[in-house]
Amino acid sequence: MRPRLTLPLIKISLMSADHDTPALPVTIYTPESRLQHPARMLREMLADLHTGRELAWRLAVRDISAQYRQTALGILWAFILPLANTLTWIFLNSSGVVAMAETALPFPVYVFTGTMLWAIFMDAVNAPLQTTIAAKSLLTKLNFPREALLVSGVYQTLFNAGIKVALLLAVLPLMGIELGWSLLLFPVALLSLVLFGTAFGLVLTPIGVLYTDIGKGLPLLMQFLMYLTPVVFAMPKEGVAAVVFMLNPVSPILLTARDWLTAMPADYLAGFLIANLLALLLLAAVLIVYRLAMPILIERMSA
């Protein structure tokens, strides 16, 4: 038989390599909705959340250091806005332009804690959409556990919240507030504030990635929402406003956080628990939506 060289040498050398193949993980992509196999999807989601931990941490460290690297004021930006808000409302109140209902706390303390906590909530709401859009170039080029983006967003929110809380703890005693044992419970309230904010932000994320209208409209919506939450106003006692304030799930969370922070008796514990339960359910649902939506969104991003 005539020997026939069919391939260049480099290719021939490859064929001889031997190796034992362990069972390899199989990945299959099909047009079917992944909701067809909910168990598998949940398993994969949990696995991704697990493998994404390290990535989330690295992304968060990266973004936090990048966030303040090109600013002159540095971490001051974490509380300049709520501080300015506080001063505005204190001025409006003291000059009598706006008359406020009586609060158990002195009004400056009430507004200061309110706006700071609200700022933390707002950070949490903004984070999912922001981190997803900022990662566009990564998302369209690499397949990675995308949940890591959300976790990284939570880390960043918590970091910025830490700065605000440190400021609160430093300033409150100067304003004549004695910190008490209930402060130990405050981290729980802080976490539920972030939890609820993240879940709410995630609801808007899939559509927000497609239509920038969401991103543009969100500050407006948040401002509106702020006036329906006891941030600067006390809880109304009666009327339509009272109902709206009561139905607003952010109210009990914010009130409880403030109460624990300022050693006041927590009057809205029942509402706080219900709101947390709701937030957990909502978060689980929107996490699934986020996961299902991602390939579809990426397709339209790169289109």
Residues forming the site for another protein (CB under 8 A) = 4-8, 10-11, 13-17, 19, 21, 24-36, 51, 54-55, 58-59, 62, 65-66, 69, 137-145, 206-207, 210-211, 289, 292-293, 295-300, 302-303
**Cβ distance to another protein smaller for residue 61 or 185:** 61
Please identify, using beta-carbon distances, which residue of 21 and 95 lies nearer to another protein: 21
**Structure-block tokens of residue 249:** 């799930």
CA distance 68 to 179: 31
Complex with another protein: residue 210 or 266, whichever CB lies closer: 210
User: DSSP of 32-67, one letter per residue?
Assistant: S-GGGSHHHHHHHHHHHHHHHHHHHHHHHHHHHHHH
Least distance (Å) from another protein to the CB of residue 240? 34
Mention every residue, 6+ apart, whose C-beta is less than 8 A from residue 54: none
Q: What is the DSSP letter of 211?
A: -
Tell me the residue type at 28.
Answer: I
User: Is residue 189 classed exposed, middle or buried when 0-12, 13-18 and 19+ CB atoms within 10 A define those classes?
Assistant: buried
Q: Select 34 or 90, whichever has its Cβ closest to another protein.
A: 34
* Least distance from another protein to the Cβ atom of residue 174, Å: 37
Which is closer to another protein, CB of 31 or CB of 265?
A: 31
Q: Which residue has the tokens 């219900």?
A: 274
Minimum CB separation of residue 142 from another protein in Å reads 5
Residues near 197 by beta carbon (within 8 Å), at least 6 away in sequence: 120, 121, 122, 123, 124, 125, 127, 157
Least Å distance between CB 17 and another protein? 3
Nearer to another protein, 10 or 97 (CB): 10
Minimum distance, C-beta of residue 38 to another protein, in the bound complex (Å): 9
- Give me the least distance between CB of 175 and another protein, in Å please: 39
